[in-house]
Amino acid sequence: GLGPSDASPDEGVVEDLPLIDEKAVEQLTEGLISHYLPDLQRSKSALQELTQNQVVLLETLEQEISKFKECNSILEINALFSEAKHYHNKLVNIRNEMMMLHDKTSKLKVSGLSI
């Protein structure tokens, strides 16, 4: 069977509730709050500061990323200009060769006519 030690731990709690002193509960609650509230407020302000620092850090990172993108664009533009210069030089050489060939063919025609 069940002995006295096997009684439910909640037994008698409901009956004891009216005996609780409301003022004591209020004082205990205030004591508990006053004990933990300063730490919680410090934690809250520390978290707010961390959050603000993270926002600043993210903004700084975004600025740095945009700078890198700009640098990359400048490098691409420089590469494009050097490539354009290279092809311009090729065109100039081709034009010079064409003029030289034209001169040679003109001279050949003249010498062919004189034969």
pTM equals: 0.46
| DSSP states of 41-61 | HHHHHHHHHHHHHHHHHHHHH
pLDDT at 1 over 60: no
- For residue 9, the SS3 value is coil
> What torsion, rounded to 10 degrees, do the Cα atoms 89, 95, 101, 107 define?
-130
Q: pLDDT, tens digit, for every residue of 59-105?
A: 999 999 999 999 999 999 999 999 999 999 999 999 999 999 999 99
CA–CA distance, 104 with 54 (Å, rounded to integer):
74
- Give the model confidence (pLDDT) of 4-13 as tens digits: 555 555 555 5
